[in-house]
Structure 1
Amino acid sequence: MSDSITTFFEAWGMSDDAPRAEAIAAAFTADGTYADPRSPEALSGPAAIAGYVNMFSAGAPGWTAKVVNLSTIGNSHRATVAFGGMGPDGKEMVQHGQYFADMDGDKIARMIGFVGTGAPE
């Protein structure tokens, strides 16, 4: 499993902004990019990515993100991530996402995320 990908998603569950930013900086290259359906655009650089993840953490306190499956071909990875926490109805809930990452050495150079796992309905 790619340590950088695991580190990045573990950062989503951190409660403090500073350690979260440090973890994201350790996971991404200096010019690494990130995009998902909820990001306003492709985000560039660890500081911008950390700012986006900070918004998630503030809006979903106590939620965590865990890599539950990872496939690798060369320098490219596909990660299935489980986001879990207390829903608005007071019940535990889990949402899955599918993320594709291109690596530069041991750091993420580019990551793109999608809601769901792509399973046919």
Structure 2
Amino acid sequence: MSSSITRFFDTWGMTDATSCAAAVISVVSEDAYCADPSTPTSLNGVPSRVDHIAKMTASRPGSTIKVSDQSTHNDHAPATVDFIADGKLGMRGKQFADLNNEGNITRMVGFIGIGDGA
């Protein structure tokens, strides 16, 4: 079974708004907090996440995000994500998520790059 983080990032690139919203709702707590480098302020709650995903998907047609590495410890989950455009790796980022007892995302903070520079 895939993790809530993997299923969340599978929504990036979905063009059907209803399907995307249902998928996000299934893996994110209602009052989830998100700080993402692509937003000027934090996002709070499911509607703001769904709106942000729709905007990003519209601005990058055909692009997707895939989780390339993830671990979990005491309801905390770091994940490396690959931004794929035209079938090629565009950039890599790191996400840090907190999960509730059901394994759903309650908080996610993202960063561009994975800290592997010299």
The match for 1:119 is 116
Specify the SS of the correspondent of 1:57: helix
Q: Which blocks of at least 5 consecutive residues in structure 1 are unaligned? A: none
Matched to 1:11, the amino acid is T
Do structure 1's residue 84 and structure 2's residue 84 form an aligned pair?
yes
Q: Which portions of structure 1, spanning 4 or more consecutive aligned residues, are displaced by more than 3 angstroms?
A: none
Q: Aligned to 1:37, what secondary structure does the other structure show? A: coil
1:26-75 Cα offsets, whole Å, 9 max, x none, are 11101011111111211111111110111110000100111000022110
Per-residue deviation at 1:92?
A: 3.7
Does the aligned pair in 1 maintain the 2:82–2:89 contact within 8 Å? Answer: no
Gaps of 5+ in 2: none
Compared CA separation, residues 42 and 2, structure 1 to 2 (3 A)? farther
Aligned length: 117
How big is the alpha-carbon RMSD for the aligned residues of Structure 1 and Structure 2? 1.6
Q: Secondary structure in 2 aligned to 1:66?
A: strand
Give the alignment of 1:1-121 within 5 angstroms.
Answer: 3-86=3-86, 92-105=88-101, 106-121=103-118
Other structure's SS at 1:98 match:
strand
Query: Structure 2 length normalisation: TM-score?
Result: 0.92
Residue pair 1:63, 1:85 contacting (<8 A) in 2 also:
yes
